Structure 1
Amino acid sequence: MVFSTDLVNLGKYLCGEFDNREQAIAEPIWYVHLRLWQRPVQLFTEDSITIFAEQANILNLDSPYRQRVIRIMPSKFDAGLQVQYYMPKNYSALAGGGRNPDLLKALTLEQLELLPGCILKVTQQEIAANQYKFVASPPTDTRCTFTYQGNTIQVSLGFEIMEMALYSYDKGIDQITGKATWGAIMGPYRYIKREQY
């Protein structure tokens, strides 16, 4: 299948190694210094670009967390794009895959759990000649929840990405109060791309 230019551009922008060093230095009370790896993987290749994402505190790179698989594909809502999230069924089997892509070569669909409510609609803006900004936000009627270690977790997802910068709006939500409990509580995590994958 031939992918649209928008799909290819979004995939290229999302793939890479990122960190938020400048933000963490400027606002250490609100933002932990994180490293984020987003590596392309060979899944859903018939109609999608798929990415394995993992992050770690810069002080403890050997203990990555928040693994997820991001599938970028033509939208089911309109003529644009959408992002669908999946969760690995066995986190430990893929731990470190962000730094060591060899761990991801044997990744199969059977190792993933679809997160039906964890979906984003993507809009695009041209900010300069051949330079774009993609904004991904949840449709109004969705709720992203999943079970982790026997607990139901609710997450609010969203991001903005340009060629060399990623702003992550992801945050955990208390299901009783509806308030954010972790993540981008004081505004987005502002990542800079350090390496293109």
Structure 2
Amino acid sequence: MKKYTVFMLVSLLTISAYSQQYSQDLLRLCNWMTGSFSSNQQSTVDTSYYDIRLHMEPIFTDRTDGCWFYVEQALASNQDRPYRQRVYHVYEGRQGTFTSDVYEIDQAIRYTGAWKNEELLHAITMDQLELKDGCSVNLRWNLATGTYEGGTAEKTCPSELNRAAYATSQVMVLAGR
């Protein structure tokens, strides 16, 4: 009984420390961002959208400066050849804002499928990451819609995808999507 009580106390202290470290809003945002997502339904309703698969898996879980994700994005028809592999660092700023910094991964192709392969996921190191200046996504909680909404600043995120000079993103994060 004594061992059980000590275990429960240590568990409660760990949960309490983790909860105090991050706000409930940040924990909810990170929880909603974790998983595999599809734009299949959107692409069938509006043919200007592609059927995309997005996988976001927590990485660097021992860090205490926010949530970190390995991110892989590919056409549904070509999932073994992702067109984007990144690491996102999500953290809380001031006055209810949240930021997702975007990092490129050196030799990213080596980590294809890391979202479903722990060995590959743990092989990625901080030394391999390079911040994509101007590409951070800033989000705020929208009480009326129950979503996190925001995006990148205009014309600040350089891009080479499809010969674009820059990328501008508008983002909405909601439960289960």
How many aligned residue pairs are there? 157
Match of 1:53 in 2: 71
Deviation for aligned residue 1:152: 8.7
Match of 1:20 in 2: 39
Match of 1:62 in 2: 80
Describe the SS at the equivalent of 2:90: strand
Q: 1:153 to 1:9 in 2, by over 3 A?
A: same
- Alignment counterpart, residue 160 of structure 1, candidates 166, 172, 175: 172
Taking structure 1 as the reference length, what is the TM-score of the superposition?
Answer: 0.70
Describe the SS at the equivalent of 1:117: coil
Deviation for aligned residue 1:78: 4.5
Describe the SS at the equivalent of 2:147: strand
CA distance in 2, matches of 1:153, 1:89: 21
Does residue 145 (structure 1) correspond to residue 158 (structure 2)? The answer is: yes
Match of 2:110 in 1: 93
**What amino acid is aligned across from residue 158 of structure 2 in structure 1?**
T
Higher relative contact order (CA 8 A, sep 6+): 1
Describe the SS at the equivalent of 1:52: strand
* Structure with the higher fraction of residues in helix conformation: 2
Moved more, 50-59 or 78-87: 78-87
1:13-33 residue CA offsets vs partner (Å, 9 max, x unmatched): 1111010111222233x1221
Match of 2:8 in 1: none
Gaps of 5+ in 2: 1-17
2:68–2:89 Cα contact (<8 Å) kept? yes
1:14–1:161 Cα contact (<8 Å) kept? yes
RMSD: 2.5
2:151–2:168 Cα contact (<8 Å) kept? no
Moved more, 156-165 or 95-104: 95-104
Equivalent positions of 1:168-187 (< 5 A) are: none
CA distance in 1, matches of 2:60, 2:81: 24
2:96–2:141 Cα contact (<8 Å) kept? no
Gaps of 5+ in 1: 166-197
